[in-house]
Amino acid sequence: MGFYPTLLLGITLSYDISVEEESRLSRLTAFVGIAIGAVLIVVTGIYLVATANPSRAGKKVIRWVVDPNPIRKEQIKLFEKRHPDIEIINDPGADAQRLLTQLAGDVPPDVMALYDPQTIRLFAKNDVLLDLGPYVQKYKIPVDKLYPSLEPYIKYRGKIVGIPENCGPYVVFYNKKLFRDAGIPYPKPGWTWDECLEAAKKLTKYRIVRGRKIPVQKGIFISDGDWWFFIWMYGGRLFSKDGKRCLMDSEAVKKGIRFWADLRLKHHVMPTSSEAQSMAPTGAWGSSALLFRESKVAMTVSGRWLCIQYREQKDLDWDVVSMPHGPIRFTLLASKSYSIPKTCRNKEAAITFIKHLLSKENQLLVANYGDGIPSVQDPEISKAFLYNPQYPNERNNKLHLDEMRYARVQEFSPYINNLDVSAIISVELDKMWLKQQTPDQACEAIAKRINAIIRRNIANPNFLN
Amino acid sequence: MSARQREALAAYAFLMPNFLGFLAFTSIPVVISLIMAFSHWNIFKPPSWVGIENFRNLLWFHHEGKRIVANDPFFWQYVYNTVYLMAGIPIGMAGSLLVALMMNQKLRGIVVFRTIYFLPSVCSGVALLILWKYLYNADIGLINKSLRLAGGVIYSHPAIAIPFTIFCALLFGVTVVGIIAVLLVLVQWLSAKIGLEWQEGAYRVLMVIAGAAVFISIGIYSRYFYETLSSFFFSPPDWLGTVQWAKPSLILMGLWGGLGGYNMILYLAALQGVPTSYYEAAEIDGAGPWAKFWAVTWPMISPTTFFILVMSIIAGFQGGFMTANVMTGGGPAGSTTTIEYYLYQTAFEKFNMGYASAIAWFLFAVILILTLITWKLGGKVVIYE
Amino acid sequence: MVLYAVLTLGAISMLVPFLWMISTSIKQPDEVFSSGGGIQWLPEHFFWRDTVMNGRTIRAWWGNYPDAWREINFFRLYLSSIFVATVGTFGQVLTSSMAAYAFARLRFPGRDKLFFAYLATMMVPGSVTMIPVFVIMKRLGWINTYQALIIPGLFSAYGTFMLRQFFMGLPSDLEDAAKIDGSGYVGIWARVILPLSKPALATLTTFTFMGFWGSYMWPLVVTITEEMRTLPIGLSYFVGQRATNYTQLMAGSVIALIPVLVLFIFNQRYFVEGIKLSGLKQ
């Protein structure tokens, strides 16, 4: 009908009315302005659409969904040099919502990064990930050379669903200068918690300001989320072997949590969160690394990746040592996996890429950047990793390799989602830190709540997906 | 064709472009999500119908031994958090209205002010959160530093301390009485709606009783009041680190951001729609600024007020995600985690889309009920020409 | 006078975040969070060109801007965002004002029920509707195209609701006069309602533009190649898993907020247009 053309006419006419009080000149300039604007937009649109798909003739393109670390560009360059017929897009959107929506809508990435074993398990259980088993022989992917402790990141029910390119056993970073100033000898690998506590006490200093005791330096910093060290400290476990019970209220675990609580609340060698904030204000994405960088904390616990930040601090004299141990020696292992969705459109190219990630050059590229250690147990790679000429004062790379002997991946149970576990533990431990309950009470509350959820999930498997 | 039919046809024509999009991109997905709320769907396998099981698991309770325990161990805390965080809505609306009134004056350079006040809405959200985190820091944050400074000055001499405490006590008392007054007005108006009219002077009597009660109790507890106040100044609380203060701190932050933001602009636009002739008429009748506001401004902008209220309710229930994620990490002991975060986790990290849809539709039901209440109650107040 | 004082006080607090963003964008990376308490407002070294000091290269103070620009292909991101936001805003304001007029002033069967349905859809959180919309996009073949970025945003219950409220608050005298003059519905809409609603339209334009401009999740979900990305996605590039590049992030954010600010300033004079009752004889 004539409705819509009339509408368009009406729009232009309405403009006519609204400026009827202004001079003819300004009306003209306004008209011209709008016309130019419209033309510009149309031209922009045409340009954008025309250049939206640069021709990639003859090349297979695969999409690599992973965080946008500066090293990714190097990795892509390295791969494309070797395989000129494949082009890789670094897609930084690993957000859970995006990943899931795209997978659900059948627009899968070709290679995606998954950051914890339970997510991998969840995807694998729902048959989303490609089983690389049949391709291992054909493409000669050195899966058997990966560290055995990385298995939760690699296998699910015998199928190979993920390939980690790096991993990081947790170690202690310590500030050599602060140790020297306090007259304490440097810690040696294999040292105990008692030795560590002694050193931390000597490394904690205060200053009196207007009658208030303000911390200037603290001995050690362990993130609130690293409860695994203390759960396992005296031989305890979070879950029973079959995953059906939570053992948080066992005496061994309680002892470990008590020790942790004392570090902060009794010995005061670990800063509270507000003390940490005041010594070195952290940004929105809590860079607890800042405390160590500013030499406000003498020791900190993390995987090797924080060395990336510490290297930036030129006046920081740091080194690494193993995690202090109690009756048993162990440390936490963190990693991430690259997986290929089953519905991937470019399987061969993707598998070629994944295989390349385990190659010597790529492994060394990532490891030298500082993001963990190579995941491939190869004497050649290990030897090359030991000494990085770019950072000559990092002489202790061997320690990270040695620690793999004791490294364990975090526990999880098939009967409860990791997110629920984290939510419960962090809330109850928060109450403990706020002194609203004792460590023992926190452990009992955690066990009770987790067991209740496990019972519910066993009765109604719909919750487990 | 009758005039009525022509009008309807024209209406359809006007509506058509918008409606087509609404149908395709809004209503169909919404209907699908409704169906999902009654299904079990983990995104990768086809959904299966489970009836109201999702809602029962979310909202209902069961026996555990002798006690009654909620089916979902996390949900109700998040609901409490979300509702608590919405407490600032009325204050926020009043604040934006106030600022809009100020911005409406024909002062020189008012354009500069408007732009500056709007800046926080334009700034990167991350930057704002980082800054507020700084501000709220217990040791080095500006707020606590100023409080300690003020405390040092005030409490060093009893000559200053005592009058100051009295002043604070009066302020506190007046605020409490004010709140009671507003509540009583509300109750009176509501009961009038139901049909219960109050006795003449009943309101005044109640107010006097309330006022006396408040001030007498302040007097009795004056020493306690003094001590609390001085310790507040000497060792101000850790705003984001304690369970009691975390949410109020977030509310304060939201209020500040809202002062110059969207709601203010909406009110500003609405104020333009009030014809000056109405004001002139009121002045002729001898009305002062207060009366002019209530008689002319308030009714004329009531459609906008209704809009802002409904949108604030919707946003309030669906919000808090960024703050929890980036600034507080869910807050001390889970006290700043909101429903939206739980929904996100359930849908995309636990792959439980059916359950997440149930949460979404529960939210929908709550918002719907609140909106209906607002619509019906405000029916007399919202005036359309 | 008092008003000025009060306003100025508030204005100072409103300026702080903006100033912090600029201040961060001209610092070196290790000066962003200083220890000891307090925000370090000025960078330690203010060089106009890169200088080498103590073996370290200190970038020029304006260095973060070109660095950020190059790092994420800013030009294309900017262009994309401007295109999407402009077309989307124009479309949304147009369709919303048309629909709002129908809801506000025209009578037709099912009007209030339909309006309520519009309202109701806003009450459903967007997270759960995202997958169905995505699947619709996929079926239409619109993934990774500009249609997917613009078209779903063209229909907004928010805009319709807001304009309806505003239209309903307008005095109906002018419309009646126009009707008596024999104007059709389109004429009333174009010649009476729209000019009177300039504040509301300006407001909706600003809000819608900001919505498109800052939209992160939907463009992220719907695009898969670098060329199609919009600005917020580009800025998220500076947030890595191991460390965040605050200086370049802030530089990028400052560059990114310029169009919105310009639009807002430009719209200022429309925010405060009073009702011109010039056509009405009282």
pLDDT in tens, B30-46: 999 999 999 999 888 88
B119 and C14 within 8 Å at the Cβ level: the answer is yes
Domain-terminating residue out of A408, A432, A456:
A408
pLDDT above 70 (res B286): yes
Do residue B144 and residue B124 come from a single domain?
A: no
Residue A338 clears pLDDT 90, i.e. is over it:
yes
- Name the minimum distance, in Å, from the CA of C248 to any CA of chain B: 13
User: From CA B361, how far away is CA B36, in angstroms rounded?
Assistant: 10
Average pLDDT for C161-166: 86
Do A101 and A129 have their domain in common? yes
Q: What is the distance in angstroms between the Cα of A397 and the nearest Cα belonging to chain B?
A: 33
Please determine, for residue A95, whether its predicted confidence score (pLDDT) is greater than 90: no
Instruction: Report which DSSP code applies to A239.
Output: B
Residue A203 is assigned to a structural domain of this protein:
yes
More confident residue, A123 or C191: A123
Q: Is residue B52 part of a domain?
A: no
Mean pLDDT for A102-120 is 90
Q: Looking at per-residue confidence, does A287 or A4 come out higher? A: A4
Q: Which residue among B214, B236, B258 closes a domain?
A: B236
A53 inside 8 A of chain B by CB? no
Alpha-helical segments (H) within chain B: 3-21, 28-37, 53-59, 75-85, 89-103, 110-122, 125-135, 142-155, 158-194, 202-220, 222-234, 243-259, 262-272, 276-284, 289-292, 298-300, 302-317, 321-322, 339-344, 353-377
- Cα–Cα distance between A398 and A462 in angstroms, integer? 46
Interface B-C: count of C-beta contacts within 8 A: 256
Task: From A51, A71, A90, give the residue that closes a domain.
Answer: A51
C57 CB neighbours in chain A (<8 A) are none
pLDDT at A232: 92
Same domain, B81 and B128: yes
Chain C interface disruption, residue of A64, A90, A102, most C CBs within 10 A: A102
| Chains linked to C by 3 or more Cβ pairs within 8 Å | A, B
CA-CA distance, C45 to C58, in Å (whole number)? 8
Q: What is the pLDDT of residues B119-146, one digit of tens each?
A: 888 887 878 888 888 788 777 778 888 8
The reported pLDDT for the residue numbered A438 is 93
* Residues B299, B384 share a domain: yes
Percentage of residues of chain A with pLDDT beyond 90: 38
In a domain, A277, yes or no: no
Lowest mean pLDDT among A330-334, A372-376, B150-154, B196-200: B196-200
Residue B331 sits in the same domain as residue B197: no
Which chain B residues are closer than 8 Å to A5 by Cβ? none
When the pLDDT of each residue in chain C is averaged and rounded to a whole number, the result is: 82
How close is the nearest chain B Cα to the Cα of A384, in Å? Answer: 38
Q: Domain count of chain A? A: 4
How confident is the model over C78-97, as a mean pLDDT? Answer: 92
If you ran DSSP here, which 8-state letter would residue A185 be given?
P
Instruction: Tell whether B385 is within 8 A of chain A (Cβ).
Output: no
Last residue of a domain, one of B201, B236, B271: B236
pLDDT at C282: 32
What's the whole-number mean pLDDT along residues C93-104? 90
Higher pLDDT, A13 or A218: A218
Cβ distance of C225 and A3 shorter than 8 Å:
no
Closest CA to C185 of C104, C116, C118: C104
Domain identity same for A75 and A111: yes
- Please indicate, yes or no, if residue A208 is contained in any of the structural domains: yes
B 284-343 near A (Cβ less than 8 A): 326-327, 329-330, 332-334
- Are the Cβ atoms of C124 and B265 closer than 8 angstroms? no
d(CA A238, CA A232): 8
Q: Looking at the structure, do residues B273 and B371 belong to the same domain, yes or no?
A: yes
* Maximum alpha-carbon separation in chain C: 83
Instruction: Taking residues A164-189, report their average pLDDT.
Output: 91
For residue B29, give its domain range.
1-34
Q: Is residue A281, in this structure, part of any structural domain at all? A: no
Q: A257 falls in which pLDDT band (50, 70, 90)?
A: very high
What is the rounded average pLDDT of the residues B102-123? 84
Q: How many CB atoms lie within 10 A of CB A143?
A: 17
Mind telling me how many Å the CA of B330 is from chain A's nearest CA? 9
pLDDT (0 to 100) of residue B7: 84
Residues A65 and A111 in one domain: yes
pLDDT surpassing 70 at residue A107: yes
- Let me know whether A401 and A426 are in one domain: no
Percent of chain B past pLDDT 70, that is, above it, reads 97
Residues of B in contact with C202 (CB under 8 A): 269
Tokens representing A37 are 């604007």
Among partner residues A14, A49, A313, which is closest to C30 by beta-carbon distance? A313
- Subunit contact C210:B122, Cβ cutoff 8 A: yes
Question: A97 to chain B: which residues are within 8 Å by CB?
Answer: 344, 347-348
ipTM over 0.90: no
**C15, C124, C170 member nearest B273 (Cβ):** C170
Mutate to test the interface with B, among A208, A277, A455 (most CBs of B within 10 A): A277
- Asked if the C-beta of C189 comes within 8 angstroms of chain A's C-beta atoms, the answer is yes
Nearest Cβ partner for A430 among B42, B333, B352: B333
Angle (CA) C92-C93-C96 rounded to 5° is 80
Is residue B110 domain-shared with residue B251, that is, in the same domain?
yes
Residues of B in Cβ contact (< 8 Å) with A449: 73
pLDDT confidence of residue A451: 93
Mention every residue, 6+ apart, whose C-beta is less than 8 A from residue A206: A213, A214, A215, A216
B345 lies within 8 A of chain A by CB: yes
A408, A441, A456 - which closes a domain: A408
Give yes or no for residue B385 having a pLDDT over 60: no
Which chain B positions have a beta carbon within 8 Å of C126's beta carbon?
318
> Contact at 8 Å (CB) between A165 and A376?
no
Top-confidence residue, A257 or B121 = A257
Q: Do B350 and A214 touch (CB under 8 A)?
A: no
Domain end among B221, B236, B251:
B236
Residue B384 pLDDT:
56
In C25-54, the residues whose Cβ lies within 8 Å of chain A are 29-30, 32-35, 37
CB contact under 8 A, C253 and B124: yes
Nearest CA of chain C to the CA of B189: how many Å? 25
Does residue A274 lie within any of the structural domains?
A: no
**Confidence at residue C81, expressed as pLDDT on a 0 to 100 scale:** 92
Residues of A in contact with C17 (CB under 8 A): none
Question: Under an 8 A CB cutoff, do A17 and C191 touch?
Answer: yes
Q: Which residues of B touch A430 (CB under 8 A)?
A: 332-334
B37 vs B177: which has the higher pLDDT: B37
Interface touch B270/C109, C-beta < 8 Å: no
The average pLDDT across C174-192 equals 79
For residue A102 the two structure tokens come to: 């795209």
Most confident of A207-216, A261-270, C168-177: A261-270
Interface size between A and C, measured as CB pairs under 8 A: 144
Tell me the average pLDDT across A48-72.
81
Domain for residue A95, yes or no? yes
Inform me whether the C-beta atom of residue B13 falls under 8 Å from chain A C-beta atoms.
Answer: yes
- Cα-based torsion angle of the residue sequence B38, B40, B41, B46 in order, rounded to the nearest 10 degrees: -100
Tell me the chain C residues in contact with residue A89 when contact means C-beta distances shorter than 8 Å: 224-226
pLDDT at C226: 83
- Supply the pLDDT for residue B380: 54
The predicted pLDDT at position B379 comes to 63
Strand-pairing partners, residue A301, are: A172
* Amino acid at the residue B38: F
C129/B113 Cβ within 8 A: no
Binary contact (A419, B53; C-beta < 8 A): no
Q: Is A10 exposed, middle or buried (0-12, 13-18, 19+ CB in 10 A)?
A: buried
Tell me, yes or no, whether A85 and A157 share the same domain: yes
Does B294 share its domain with B378?
yes
Which structural domain range is residue A306 located in? 171-221+291-322
> How confident is the model at residue C277, as a pLDDT?
41
Any idea which of A38-47, A357-366, B118-127, C234-243 has the lowest mean pLDDT?
A: C234-243
DSSP readout, B265-305? HHHHHHHHTS-HHHHHHHHHTT--HHHHIIIIIHHHTHHHH
Read off the amino acid at residue A421: V
| Domain match, A382 and A244 both | no
| A115 contacts on B by Cβ (under 8 Å) | none
Angstrom distance (rounded) from CA C82 to CA C62: 24
The mean per-residue pLDDT over the stretch B63-82 comes to 86
Average pLDDT over every residue of A209-236: 86
Contacts of C134 (CB under 8 A, 6+ apart): A101, A102, A104, A105, A107, C221, C222
Residue A134 exposed, middle or buried by CB count within 10 Å (0-12, 13-18, 19+): exposed
Q: Is B64 on the interface with A (CB under 8 A)?
A: yes
Domain tally, chain B: 3
Q: Comparing C-alpha atoms, which of C24, C73, C18, C64 is closest to residue C234?
A: C73
Classify residue A328: in a domain, yes or no.
no
Share of chain A above pLDDT 70, in %: 92
- Find the closest chain B residue to C95 by CA distance: B18
Q: Do B351 and A427 touch (CB under 8 A)?
A: no
- Give yes or no: residues B143 and B250 share one domain: no
Residues of B numbered 241-270 whose beta carbons fall under 8 angstroms of chain C's beta carbons: which are they?
Answer: 256, 259-260, 262, 265-266, 268-270
Q: Is the Cβ pair A278, B50 closer than 8 Å?
A: no
Whether C118 shows a pLDDT value over 60: the answer reads yes
Q: Is residue A229 part of a domain?
A: yes
Which residues are A320's β-sheet partners? Answer: A173
C120 and B20 in contact (C-beta within 8 Å)? no
Query: Of the candidates B18, B262, B364, which has its C-beta nearest C96's C-beta?
Result: B18
Mean of pLDDT values over A227-241: 92
Summarised one tens digit per residue, pLDDT across range C18-65 is 888 888 888 877 777 665 555 677 777 777 777 777 766 777 778 888
End-to-end CA distance of chain C: 36
